[in-house]
Homo-oligomer: A and B are copies of this chain.
Amino acid sequence: MLEEEKKFIAEYDASKYDRPSVTADIVIFTLDEEDDLNILLIKRNGFPYKDHWAIPGGFLEAGKESVEDAAKRELFEETGIKDVFLKQLYTFSDPGRDPRTHVISVAYTALVPKSQLTIRAGDDAGDAKLFKIKYDINGIRFVADGLSINETQLAFDHAKMIRMAITRIRGRIDYEMDAFSLLKDKSSFTIYELKRIYESIKNTKLDTANFRKAFLRNYVDTGVVEALNEKREEKGKRPTSLYAFIEKERNVL
């Protein structure tokens, strides 16, 4: 590096430009016992939007971490989860979206099997809960034991983030491997477990025969999934063939 350049950088005064605050926010999807799509919301402890429900997230520690690392850190603090599928969704940056100051939020999507989730209310959250996602004419509703929240009641522009995350995941599921992230056990699952994940995300019923054929063609024949020569037995049912997902490097796009 040139001397001149070293000098420039040493004397660089970042404060001459106004800087925004930056947060990482995470839309965490999971499936509940009934195979319905759920989302994790936390109840805000402080202002603004005190006592409103929101998606988890927190401020970037500038100079120390990337926003994705901040998201991972927050995710771990909020849910105890590590090594999770985290996908950048969109960056929200309207100057007025947070009443305190200009806050830019980079939203991420995480797909997590419920068995791996440890939900706990952190410092900033009075409560943390999984909510079923229900669709009606007025938009999306979030439902958990007794509680029913309309999307307009969420903090900040979090409803927009969630809507975007649902749209995105639905669009991606057919040609990406996102669905596998929601399996309880990626290295031993049945076609029908995977099918139920697809159905929950797309909010439709799928044909068994056709799903099976697509599964074999797209995943097994291409080597993404390996057929284990084992069966899982459950009472009252015919034993089911098991498959294993071969983990690959994940693309950030």
* Cβ A62 vs Cβ B19 within 8 A: yes
Min CB gap A20→B, angstroms: 4
Q: Is A64 an interface residue (CB 8 A)?
A: yes
Question: How many copies of the shown chain assemble into the complex?
Answer: 2
Measured CA separation A4–B46 after assembly (Å)? 11
Q: Which residues of B contact A67 (CB under 8 A)?
A: 91, 93, 104
Contact among B18, B88, B90, B253 for A62, CB-based, below 8 A: B18
Q: Which residues of B contact A167 (CB under 8 A)?
A: 253
Q: Which residues of B contact A94 (CB under 8 A)?
A: 66
Contact among B63, B88, B99, B168 for A18, CB-based, below 8 A: B63
Contact with B along A208-229 (1 / 0, CB 8 A): 0000000000000000000000
A5-B50, A93-B68 known; A20-B19 Cβ under 8 A: yes
Please report whether the interface of chain A is mostly helix, strand, loop or mixed according to DSSP.
Answer: loop
Q: Is A106 an interface residue (CB 8 A)?
A: yes
* Cβ A20 vs Cβ B63 within 8 A: yes
Q: Which of A9-17, A32-40, A120-128 contacts B (4 or more CB under 8 A)?
A: A9-17
Centre residue among A19, A60, A101, A168 by max chain B CB count within 10 A: A19
